[in-house]
Amino acid sequence: SGRRLALRIMLLQLAVAALAGLVFLTLGRPEAVSAAAGAVVVALGTALLSARFFSGLSSSAGMALGRLLTGMLLKWIVIVGGLFVILFQFKLPPLAAITGLVAAYAVYLLAFRFKG
């Protein structure tokens, strides 16, 4: 069930990326690309965390915790690195990128509140 939840969260984050891109398209193409890229970076981080956490059988609680912490570290490296690339290498609008990032991360937080 954890793998299904992780996949559902990632797919919802990708849907938010598309929605954010469409919303920011009214302001221009660079804003749309920036918002979508910000949300996609979060979805990639979630995918990396899930892949790391669910890789293999849990032989002990310590191993599971280690995989979780390693996955979280990798997730934040991807998010911060991706944001750095979006803002400084491609020089896309920062407000749109941060809005997309926050919107996609909100999906992550709300998914655990409403697991239903």
Model pLDDT for residues 43-97, shown as the tens digit of each residue: 999 999 999 988 877 678 888 899 999 999 999 999 999 999 999 999 999 999 9
- Where are the alpha helices (H) located in the chain, listed in sequence order? 2-24, 29-53, 61-84, 94-113
- Max CA distance (Å), the chain: 51
- Where are the alpha helices (H) located in 25-60, listed in sequence order? 29-53
- Return d(Cα 5, Cα 87) in angstroms, integer: 30
For residue 30, the number of C-alpha atoms closer than 13 Å in the C-beta half-sphere is 8
The per-residue pLDDT for 3 is 87
Does pLDDT of 116 surpass 70?
Answer: no
- Return d(Cα 12, Cα 111) in angstroms, integer: 9
Does pLDDT of 40 surpass 80?
Answer: yes
Does pLDDT of 112 surpass 80?
Answer: no
Residue 60 is classified by DSSP as S
